[in-house]
Amino acid sequence: MTIRNLRWWIIGTCFLATTINYIDRQCLSVAAPTICKEFHFSNADYSSIVTSFLIAYTIMQGLSGKIIDRIGTRRGMACSIVWWSAAGLLHVCAGGLWGFRFFRFLLGAGEAGNWPAATKVVSEWFPARERSLAVAIFDSGSSLGGVVAPPLVAWLILHYGWRSAFLVTGLLGFLWLYLWLWIYRQPEAHPAITAEELQNILADPDRKATGEHSSIRWASLLGYSQVWGVIVGRLFTDCVWWFYVYWLPKYLSDERGFTLEKLAMVGWIPFLAVDAGDIGGGWLSGYLVRRGWSVNASRKFVMAVGSVGMAAGLPAGLTSSAGVCLGLVTVATFACAVWGTMMLTLPSDLFPSSVVASVSGLSGTGAGLGGIAFTWLTGVLVDRFSYKPVFIIAGVMPLLAFILVHVLIRNVRRVAIESGGARA
């Protein structure tokens, strides 16, 4: 039996994986007020727990991308979700600061593989005109995870305690695994693909055979300015997104007086906007390409919109109104998604599918380094001063990121690479 438009069903499966990824990730941020109170953790202690996740995430982003390019997308994604789901379950055993640090480290190591694998799926199954929308669809799972996590985790904590939240969310990945192993194959080997869809995929001029350029050394990719463009672009912006993911519930509780019940009621709103940003940014870029814009112009225009929108975070920390603050943060998270969709699309625009996961992983390493530094800085600034300077920094950095990306990636087009890693 064949399935029409199989590629969209496959990217839908990646969307579910990303949703689970963020539910597992945000379980701690929603539970943070309860856990910090029970174990008497300071802001610096909580920052160190988050940093443990980011250290592992940073290390494994680059490594997982290379591993996935080697072992293939199907096995790579499966191994990743099994690892992080098991790590999520282990949080039930945490009994203190070092326990949380260790289990967050394990979670970060596993979750790192999701984006390189999903980006590789896009490069294997989608032509250039559809890539930004495909990336937007799978990446919008992060916002759905952000929407689902606050009410789900808060309800579980209120009724059964914080350990039940990690138990329930940790089991979701194992349920997803059966769906993934059933549906995913390479296009050429998939028994359910239609002849028309396979022909369209193979006819894409940007598509390269999976084994091509397999002799390129991992480190030699750093010889390309385009790689540095996606690394730097994510280094200066992913940390802003993670600030909202990890610190927003705690900020609303500490500074705005939100109870756990109120967090469950409104804490999901900024993350609902991310869905609109993901889909809207991906659709707009693809629409502009169909209207005759170059890939370069369409991607950079949407990135400019995203970087300017993220500046809304600056006044969010300065206003005296909790409602206005939440509204401005919602604008910023919407813009984070618009920007992030383009950054996740660039590796498949710039490089052949055989190295897309590696390039995506390297960009994730940059994102992790920025996240580690900004998370540590957040803990220090909040303990010594307040959240206000953190919001100011979060509003300015995306504008700098856009300038640097434009300088490093002059033209978004496929890079001609050689097995020895020569520059384009």
**pLDDT tens, 144-181?**
887 788 888 889 998 899 999 999 999 999 999 999 99
Instruction: Assess whether pLDDT exceeds 90 at residue 408.
Output: yes
118 falls within a domain = yes
Handedness of CA 329, 334, 338, 340 (dihedral sign): positive
419 falls within a domain = no
415 falls within a domain = no
Token pair 């949380």 is found at 100
47 falls within a domain = yes
In sequence order, which residues have a C-beta less than 8 Å from that of residue 162 and are 6 or more positions away? Answer: 31, 34, 35, 38, 156
Percent helix, percent strand, percent coil in the chain, to nearest 5: 80, 0, 20
413 falls within a domain = no
Q: Which candidate, 39, 312, 17, 268, places its Cα nearest to that of 143?
A: 268
208 falls within a domain = no
**pTM assigned to the model:** 0.71
Instruction: Assess whether pLDDT exceeds 80 at residue 365.
Output: yes
What is the mean pLDDT of the segment spanning 325-345? 90
Instruction: Assess whether pLDDT exceeds 80 at residue 243.
Output: yes
Total count of domains within the chain: 1
pLDDT score recorded for residue 217: 63
What is the mean pLDDT of the segment spanning 383-405? 91
202 falls within a domain = no
The per-residue pLDDT for range 92-123, each reduced to its tens digit, is 999 889 999 999 999 999 998 898 888 888 88
**Is 186 strand, coil or helix?**
coil
Residue-range definition of the domain harbouring residue 234: 6-197+216-408
Residue 17 sits in a domain whose CATH number is 1.20.1250.20
- Which structure tokens are listed for 146? 């952000």
How far lies 59's CA from each of 68, 110, 215, 333, 338, in Å?
A: 15, 11, 22, 26, 26
211 falls within a domain = no
Orientation of helix 322-350 relative to helix 225-235, angle to 10°: 170
Asked whether the beta carbons of 129 and 10 are under 8 A apart, the reply is: no
The per-residue pLDDT for range 29-82, each reduced to its tens digit, is 888 888 988 999 888 888 889 889 888 988 887 788 778 888 888 999 999 999
